[in-house]
Amino acid sequence: LEEAQRKLYLAELRRSREQVLQTVQEKGLSRSRLQVLAALTRLRQICCHPTLVGSDCASGKTETLFELLEPLLAEGQKVLVFSQFVSMLKLIKEALDTEKITYSYLDGSTKDRQSLVDEFNDNESLTVFLISLKAGGTGLNLTGADTVIHFDPWWNPAVEDQATDRAHRIGQTKVVTVYRLVA
């Protein structure tokens, strides 16, 4: 985490901890689950990019993503980038536009998924495919990808594995590299 991002995270951790402990004390653990999940989600969002919680701090994780992408794209790799947060994918999309990196984008609102998949697999100039984890975890054949990046971890690692499997097919000999950006 960047220094300002780390300070924001630690402040939110203290605030959330106090709030969750108070709620658990008042209502009990079983009736406090939503507050616990909300606090964890907010902390995860800060780790992804502070903008997701309304802060203008820089994101160390986003910088790491682009440090990882640069050599991969220079080698001609095609990369899938999964995130559970559509809002995070939109921030990455803006950064790709700024860097003039070609990409495809798929989330739950995407209508013609198959044409995007076909274009990514067939078009060498499309180098990055941004995909929401829920929308892209099943039913897609993205064998054009050489690398899979999970920008943020999912609660259930099997969901990540299923998404990664979009780049694999039975009988395929190509090796696909997988990165998980954990913070």
Per residue in 142-151, pLDDT tens?
Answer: 888 889 999 9
Residue 171: the pLDDT is 47
Three-class SS of 44-61: HHHHHCHHHHCCCCCCHH
Q: Token match 């999309």: residue?
A: 93
More confident residue, 169 or 27: 27
User: Across the chain, what does the average pLDDT equal?
Assistant: 90
Distance of CA 32 to the CA centre of its chain: 27
100 backbone dihedrals φ, ψ, rounded to 5°? 60, 45
Question: Angle at Cα 136 formed by Cα 80 and Cα 88, nearest 5°?
Answer: 65
Residue 164: the pLDDT is 83
- The whole-angstrom separation of Cα 142 and Cα 82 is 12
- Tens digit of each residue's pLDDT (9 = 90 or more) over 52-63: 999 999 999 999
- The whole model's pTM is what? 0.90
Residue 55: the pLDDT is 96
Residues pairing with 132 in the sheet: 83
